[in-house]
Structure 1
Amino acid sequence: MPENFVIIIPQFNDWEALNLLIQKINADLNASILENTTLFIVDDCSSRERTQPFANFGGKEIKVLRLYRNLGHQKAIAIGLSYVAEHIAADKVIVMDADGEDAPSDINLLAQRSLQEPGKIIFAERNKRTENLLFRSFYVIYKLLFKLLTGKVITFGNFSLVPQNRLQNLVRVSEIWNNYPGGIIKSRIPYDSVLTNRAKRLAGESKMNFVSLVLHGLSAISVLVDTTAVRILIFSIFMSGVAIAFIIFIIFLKLIGNATPGWASTLGSTLMILMLQSFLISLFLVFMVLQYRSQQHFIPAVHYRDFVEKVDTFS
């Protein structure tokens, strides 16, 4: 029996690119997948109305879920997943962007790997990026910081395949509300990846500026904030040990008479103040995280309905 696919596409004012993407899905998706696919578009409360009808879709149907307010890309994905988990029978769910930078042909690769790894979420790992040198440089820095602060490696974005047997688990992971790939890493749901090349935007201008990119990176790190806080505390303790060693050395120089008058006491007191400040701030951060873990969290599968305005179907 053929598997049912649902492609979740969050979009905000990207109607032109979305129409071109539908045409590429028709052309690039394997026929056996396309004919059993539903397009599920999450309209993130676009400020511009759709002026053109949707391109003819070669699959089953197009559904458009409109949100009451603009929530951002990650939350739109979480709501789309939650709605599909409750209302649409799907064996495989694909998450991809509307701008065309996630190539529809790569869905075939994700589906193929999913057959080999049926119990895992499959991500599209970027083998080659098309952005400018500045963006790629900051992306490398982001991956290094993510590894340093969380101890995890992140080499993928939102483009992924979620099997039906993991969907109900995923929509109860509160962290996907903040960052989808980070939430999956935190949840310990098993995942794998396939190498893909990022395509070029089909139409319009990217709404992602430098500030947005920084916020997106910080949101991914914040999902693993408990690990990050402990790592910062350990680093603070290590640096405090280094500071104490310097203070002991300064005292030794002062005792043998080799320290410049006033220099030893100034440097020693400065190191002591910095050591205490960094340690206390790190300790406060750890306690804040522990307090946060004791609170009730936002569960997408339970709370998503508050943001859904309507769902329209186009055949």
Structure 2
Amino acid sequence: MPQNLVIIIPQFNDWEALNLLIQKINEDLRPEIIENTSLLIVDDCSSKDRTQPFTRFIGKDIKLLTLYRNLGHQKAIAIGLSYVAENMDCDQVIVMDADGEDAPSDINKLVTKSLEEPDKIIFAERNKRTEGFLFRFFYIIYKLAFKLLTGKVITFGNFSLVPKNRLKNLVRVSEIWNNYPGGVIRSRIPYSSVLTDRATRLAGNSKMNFVSLILHGLSAISVMVDTTAVRILIFSIFMSGLAVAFIVFIIFLKLIGNATPGWASTLGSTLMILMLQSFLISLFLVFMVLQYRSQQHFIPAVHYRDFVEKVETFQLMA
């Protein structure tokens, strides 16, 4: 079992759910795990003040890291990981949401799996989801789009365990600033997963709407933008080849006199314009990516301090 475990919980206006989550952590974690566990709450500049004290935590302590401005869930995770890597002594780090949809009991599974594969990041892969049909439908589309555009498979979210020997590598991966699971895939740090069931929200309403879901999906794809650009270019070349084949076929029909007057020239010119536009746009995207790769990137481990307003420690042991 780990000597020291830190659970990073980013939250924005979820104080009520957070207190219920702490209570469930007390109840569901095995005694040998929780007695060496600390909580790091990353407050993403909440617009609502905390009106109730933290629920009594039977682990070591609770740290509250407050950000200067609202940055979003993924960036809050990156800042939390960077703070732990620099300031806290731990053997393993858990990343989980504050709303309770990541079941604390599954932390036991993550720890057990990590003992079997100590050099890998362990993700909680969803075996059963509790969202509505529309959300699950678009989530399937997102996974298919991710596979087509990046060549990778993504079947997990933020809920994960990071071993100490991978933490300092991870916080120097610039891509986790935009999307944590996508950044891990891009980094080529070895990872594995365990099957878990998604729990229900403990309190309040979800802040994930249709727009934020699309933005989250695009952020995951964006971390593999170079691969995505090349795949789009290859697809564009393939479609251009089909367009050329159709144009040749149209010319053939016109030569043998089977083409409708005006139809061949109109369709042929339209295909030529679409072919040139798609190819040039794809080529422009590839050059933008090459330019991006030559620039200095944001490194969470180096720059995270600019966003940290304060860190408070609460000793809440029984």
Say whether the fold is shared (TM-score over 0.5). Answer: yes
Alignment-derived partner of residue 285 in structure 1: 285
State the Cα distance separating 1:177 from its structure 2 match: 0.2
Alignment-derived partner of residue 305 in structure 1: 305
Instruction: Calculate the TM-score normalised by the size of structure 2.
Output: 0.99
Matched, 1:215 2:215: yes
Alignment-derived partner of residue 128 in structure 1: 128
Distance 1:215 1:239 in 2: 27
Distance 1:52 1:248 in 2: 73
Matched, 1:5 2:12: no
Letter in 2 for 1:225: V
Q: Following superposition of structure 1 onto structure 2, how do residues 124-273 of structure 1 map, counting pairs within 5 Å?
A: 124-273=124-273
SS in 2 for 1:47: coil
SS in 1 for 2:66: strand
Any unmatched runs of 5+ in structure 2?
none
State the Cα distance separating 1:216 from its structure 2 match: 0.2
State the Cα distance separating 1:3 from its structure 2 match: 1.6
Distance 1:43 1:258 in 2: 70
Alignment-derived partner of residue 73 in structure 2: 73
Alignment-derived partner of residue 21 in structure 2: 21
Aligned-CA RMSD value: 0.6
Write out per-residue CA displacement over residues 198-238 of structure 1, whole angstroms, 9 at most, x where no aligned residue.
00000001111110000000000011010000000000000
SS in 2 for 1:311: strand
Any unmatched runs of 5+ in structure 1?
none
Distance 1:280 1:65 in 2: 47
Letter in 2 for 1:104: P
Matched, 1:54 2:54: yes
Distance 2:47 2:68 in 1: 11
SS in 2 for 1:192: strand
Distance 2:204 2:127 in 1: 24
Alignment-derived partner of residue 98 in structure 1: 98
Instruction: Calculate the TM-score normalised by the size of structure 1.
Output: 0.99
Write out per-residue CA displacement over residues 233-279 of structure 1, whole angstroms, 9 at most, x where no aligned residue.
00000000000000000000000000011000000000000000000
Distance 1:52 1:256 in 2: 83
Distance of aligned partners of 1:299 and 1:2 in 2 relative to their CA distance in 1, 3 Å threshold: closer
State the Cα distance separating 1:2 from its structure 2 match: 4.9
Alignment-derived partner of residue 118 in structure 2: 118
Q: Segments of 4+ in structure 1 off by > 2 A? A: none
Letter in 1 for 2:39: L
Distance 1:263 1:52 in 2: 73
Letter in 1 for 2:142: Y
Contact 2:2 2:92 in 1 (8 A): no
Alignment: residue pair count: 315
Write out per-residue CA displacement over residues 104-162 of structure 1, whole angstroms, 9 at most, x where no aligned residue.
00000000000000000000000000000000000001000000000000000000000
Distance of aligned partners of 1:218 and 1:163 in 2 relative to their CA distance in 1, 3 Å threshold: same
Letter in 2 for 1:159: F
State the Cα distance separating 1:93 from its structure 2 match: 0.1
